[in-house]
Amino acid sequence: MIDIKKLRENPEIFKEGAKRKFVDIDIDKILYLDNKNRELQSQIDKLKHEQKKLSLDFSKNKNKDLYEKIKLIKKEIEEKENEKESISNELLSLLYLVPNPPAKDVPDGKTEEENVPIKFWGQIPNFDFEFKDYISLMKELNLVDLERGAKVGGFRQYFIKNEAVILELALLRWSLDFLKEQGFEIFRPTSLVKKFTLYGTGMFPQGEEETYKLEEDLYLAGTTEVPLMGYFSDEILEEKDLPIKMAGISCAFRKEVGSYGKDVKGIFRVHEFWQTEQVILHKNDLEETIFWHEKLLENIEKMMQLLEIPYRVVNVCAGELSLGQVKRYDLEAWVPSQKRYRETHSDSYLLDFQTRRLNIRYKDKNGNLHFPYSLNNTAIAVPRILIPLIENHQQKDGSIKIPKVLVSYCGFEKIPAD
């Protein structure tokens, strides 16, 4: 959630930010409700002060007229408090929809086609044989069963099999070891979360239709970021303990309602997947946020280089950013069969957008309270990462070479052809 004080002081910045993100929100109405809300509170405070004064007078002088006046003031207070509650609720519902303005160096645009490539790494493979797409390869090597997955679990479900199961586990474990070496504390959080965590991370209200609901206040998280950010909700941290670097592993669930017709075959866009995620909380300093944003990018670039997968990094355009994201890099892996790069990692910073919603604060050395800034980035998501890994490492004899960094985790150097 944005800082209402900043909105009052610089409404044009938020109007322009919403425009760049293609978010239809009435900033003037929010300012009107905010002003009305503060006026009502001022009136309530004055009436309560008057009520207290009259009550003291009445305790000394049991005057009937004074008693009736106190009753009228009490009724007026109740009426104004009810009005204020109604306005406060409307104001809060609108504030939840106000986007964080994008950073100045975020490109304008509405769709992923307008994202700006800023870096390329790796040699796109030039196969001297007729290469195959990952679905053909995985089926031939008995690594996946999409048909029985759909039979058992429905659309976008799947069975990963045999060596591919070991490969997935190897990727997840290796990514945690890698992040632990970078100073991250390791978590295996719950995938079951309460509604406040989804509002707190900015997934709600916009993404509610994408989320599986189990009970009135229990949902399946669509990313490990949600429970990790909820971990410190309603807590006061100490500045000396910042930055806090969390690496989580959990299963994630998404309805993919907004992706109708996209990637309907295969394992790129699925309802259920495992991931490791990076989350950082640090003091409210923009320069430090930019440092960690680049550091998180550096982490996943190093990981992709060790996996020997060609990739590019794009600066995501404003229209593709979520409400809370100020800036985001997407890392996209080269998929030979599709002759294009596909997103495998998203690296974002959100300033205090999430920590305000989750009421996470820290105390500085002078005892003052502040909202920390937050960032997040994928580490590894399976089965999606299997697509570029398998396609780029396929061999002429139909086998799949395992990247050197994973051999000790897998226990084999290749997935042999039948």
Residue 29: inside a domain = yes
Same domain, 19 and 56: yes
Closest CA to 395 of 165, 188, 128: 128
Structural domains of the chain, count: 2
Q: Residue 259 pLDDT more than 90? A: no
Evaluate whether 389 touches 334 at the Cβ level (below 8 Å). no
Same domain, 169 and 44: no
Query: Is 156 tagged catalytic?
Result: no
- Could you tell me how many residues make up the chain? 418
Same domain, 213 and 335: yes
The residue from 20, 156, 254, 357 that is catalytic is: 254
What CATH number does the domain containing 215 carry?
Answer: 3.30.930.10
Residue 241: inside a domain = yes
The residue from 175, 191, 346, 374 that is catalytic is: 346
List pLDDT tens digits, range 17-49.
999 999 999 999 999 999 999 999 999 999 999
Same domain, 56 and 166: no
Same domain, 272 and 359: yes
What CATH number does the domain containing 74 carry?
Answer: 1.10.287.40
Last residue of a domain, one of 95, 127, 162: 95
Same domain, 142 and 215: yes
The residue from 343, 361, 374, 391 that is catalytic is: 343
Within its chain, how far is the Cα of 204 from the centroid?
Answer: 11
Same domain, 207 and 69: no
Evaluate whether 325 touches 348 at the Cβ level (below 8 Å). yes
Same domain, 171 and 271: yes
Residue 50: inside a domain = yes
Please give the C-alpha separations between residue 354 and each of 52, 204, 233, 325, 375, in angstroms, as whole numbers: 39, 11, 10, 10, 10
End-to-end Cα, the chain, rounded Å: 55
User: pLDDT grade, residue 328 (50/70/90)?
Assistant: very high
Same domain, 70 and 161: no
pLDDT of residue 68: 83
Query: Is 322 tagged catalytic?
Result: no
Instruction: Please give the residue range of the domain that contains residue 190.
Output: 112-415
The residue from 20, 357, 361, 384 that is catalytic is: 384
Q: Is 241 helix (H, G, I), strand (E, B) or coil?
A: helix
What is the DSSP secondary-structure string of 267-319?
SSS-SEEEEEEEEEEE-S-HHHHHHHHHHHHHHHHHHHHHTT--EEEEE--GG
Closest CA to 250 of 219, 222, 213, 231: 222
Same domain, 264 and 349: yes
List pLDDT tens digits, range 163-181.
999 999 999 999 999 999 9
Same domain, 133 and 59: no
Ramachandran quadrant class, 325 (left: phi over 0; alpha: psi -120 to 50; beta: rest): beta
Query: Is 148 tagged catalytic?
Result: no
Q: What is the mean pLDDT of residues 188-208?
A: 94
Q: Residue 257 pLDDT more than 70? A: no
Residue 163: inside a domain = yes
Burial bucket for residue 167 (CB in 10 Å: 0-12, 13-18, 19+): buried
The residue from 173, 269, 312, 342 that is catalytic is: 269
**pTM of the predicted protein model:** 0.92
Query: Is 254 tagged catalytic?
Result: yes
